[in-house]
């Protein structure tokens, strides 16, 4: 698949519409190589990916549910069950971790965040090019201090996203996207 086809065809697939097979070691390696090719001012590599497969998915789901139960009083049991089961719906979960160097003398935080987000985008486009479905989630588990602690993240690390990757069981067309003229304008304006 050429680069433009991969970029324009990439879309989000909910975990409930994914299943086996997932990426094998060679495909995962290619996706991580694509992430490492993202623009990265200063070559700080302000990101890393936790690879969750097999029984680790069940443990991750338990961590999501336990942390949210402790942090969100009265959270509905249905929401806890959704968070508990999401990692098990797909063969591969990657936790995208942002590693900030807050007082770097040359590279401001916003550039580090941009580099990490570009790495995630490259990885998702590579997954699509390899014929896998994906979803970049950034909901409650990604914002949870309990999940961060449970994953063993350092003080300068945050969850940038939880990436669900598998094979698409139910075809998902790309969603509506803005036309180029809706996201661009001439400058200086007349």
Single pTM value for the model: 0.94
* Domain covering 3-171 in this structure, CATH number: 3.40.109.10
What span, in angstroms and rounded, lies between the C-alpha atoms of 85 and 64? 9
pLDDT in tens, the chain (190 residues): 889 999 999 999 999 999 999 999 999 999 999 999 999 988 989 999 999 999 999 999 999 999 999 999 999 999 999 999 999 999 999 999 999 998 888 999 999 999 999 999 999 999 999 999 999 999 889 999 999 999 999 999 999 999 999 999 988 888 899 999 999 999 998 6
Spell out the domain ranges in the chain.
3-171
């Amino acid at each position: 698949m050429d680069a433009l086809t991969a970029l324009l065809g990439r879309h989000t697939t909910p975990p409930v519409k994914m299943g086996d097979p997932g990426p094998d070691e060679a495909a995962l390696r290619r996706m991580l190589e694509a992430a490492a090719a993202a623009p990265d001012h200063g070559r700080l590599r302000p990101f890393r990916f936790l690879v969750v497969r097999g029984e680790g998915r069940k443990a991750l789901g338990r961590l999501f549910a336990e942390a949210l139960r402790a942090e969100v009083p009265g959270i509905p049991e249905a929401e806890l069950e959704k968070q508990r089961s999401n990692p098990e719906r797909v063969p591969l979960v990657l936790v995208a971790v942002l590693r900030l160097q807050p007082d770097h003398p040359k590279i401001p935080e916003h550039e580090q965040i941009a580099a990490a987000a570009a790495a995630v985008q490259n990885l998702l486009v590579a997954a699509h090019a390899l014929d896998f479905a994906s979803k970049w989630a950034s909901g409650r588990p990604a914002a949870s201090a309990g999940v961060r602690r449970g994953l063993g993240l350092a003080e300068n690390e945050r969850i940038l996203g939880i990436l669900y990757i598998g094979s698409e069981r139910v075809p998902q067309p790309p969603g509506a996207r803005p036309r180029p003229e809706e996201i661009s304008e001439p400058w200086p304006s007349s």
